């Protein structure tokens, strides 16, 4: 290997890991018919003039498999939290009980489950594209080094390293998608 060129595979790996992290967040927002506190993460409440995540205006709990509760700390915020949930597009109808908002999670029908698996597949494809973009950046660095006089053996070595890294992350994306789709289709 050439002494003057050292591809930072850790940086490429971190960027690919970022795509995986983003995919996990997107998957968490998909409703699977099972209660999860993470399904409320994308919902923002207008609190004191600022969009705020729900978990910063109350305590989110999952007391049973088909119920999420939010214990809102400030009584004046209960209506705003309820409104944010109704307008979030989650398809959940909040029920008020004082400062506690209960979110019963309805069963998903077969058609909705199939739609959600397609959405999950789209999220996975976005993650694959992000991983491939990182791969392209790595390959561009190698091509530039080749133009600067890197040997062909070194070029092949680094291209193989980048491709192996890409393949491993694409496999992780595929595995995550497979797991999520099985979870969505589970009745």
How would you write the pLDDT of the chain (187 residues) with one tens digit per residue? 445 678 888 999 999 999 999 898 888 777 666 777 777 887 889 888 889 888 899 999 988 888 899 999 989 889 999 988 888 767 788 999 888 999 888 777 888 788 888 888 999 999 999 999 999 999 999 999 999 988 999 999 999 999 999 999 999 999 999 999 988 887 6
Interatomic CA distance for residues 128 and 177, integer angstroms: 11
Q: What is the pLDDT of residue 33?
A: 66
End-to-end CA distance of the chain: 54
Provide the residue ranges of all domains of the chain, joining segments of one domain with +: 9-27+109-185, 34-104
Assign domain 34-104 to a CATH class.
alpha beta
Q: For the chain, give me the number of helices (H) and strands (E)?
A: 4, 6
Interatomic CA distance for residues 149 and 58, integer angstroms: 59
Backbone phi and psi for residue 74, each to the nearest 5 degrees, phi listed first: -105, 120
What length does the chain have? 187
Q: What is the pLDDT of residue 106?
A: 77
Q: List the structure tokens of 134.
A: 């990182």
Q: What is the pLDDT of residue 2?
A: 41
Q: What is the pLDDT of residue 1?
A: 43
Q: How many other CB atoms sit within 10 Å of the CB of residue 127?
A: 27
HSE of 80 in the Cβ direction (CA atoms, 13 Å)? 19
| Positive or negative torsion for Cα 178, 63, 51, 79 | positive
Is 34:66 a contact under the CB 8 Å cutoff?
A: yes
Domain 9-27+109-185, classified CATH 3.30.360.10, yes or no? no
Q: Model-level pTM?
A: 0.67
| Positive or negative torsion for Cα 93, 96, 97, 102 | positive
Q: What is the pLDDT of residue 11?
A: 92
């Amino acid at each position: 290997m050439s002494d003057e060129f050292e591809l930072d595979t850790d940086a490429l790996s971190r960027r690919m890991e970022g795509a995986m992290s983003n995919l996990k967040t997107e998957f968490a927002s998909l409703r699977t018919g099972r209660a999860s506190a993470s399904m409320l993460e994308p919902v923002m409440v207008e609190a004191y003039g600022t969009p705020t995540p729900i978990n910063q205006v109350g305590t989110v709990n999952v007391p049973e498999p088909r119920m999420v509760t939010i214990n809102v700390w400030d009584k004046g915020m209960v209506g705003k939290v309820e409104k944010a949930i109704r307008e979030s597009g989650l398809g959940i109808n909040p029920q008020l009980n004082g400062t506690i908002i209960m979110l019963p999670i309805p069963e998903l029908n077969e058609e909705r489950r199939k739609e959600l698996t397609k959405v999950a597949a789209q999220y996975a494809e976005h993650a694959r594209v992000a991983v491939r973009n990182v791969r392209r950046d790595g390959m561009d660095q190698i091509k530039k080094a080749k133009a600067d006089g890197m040997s062909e053996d070194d070029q092949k070595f680094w291209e193989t390293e980048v491709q192996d890294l890409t393949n491993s992350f694409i496999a992780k994306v595929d595995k995550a998608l497979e797991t999520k789709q099985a979870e969505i289709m589970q009745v």
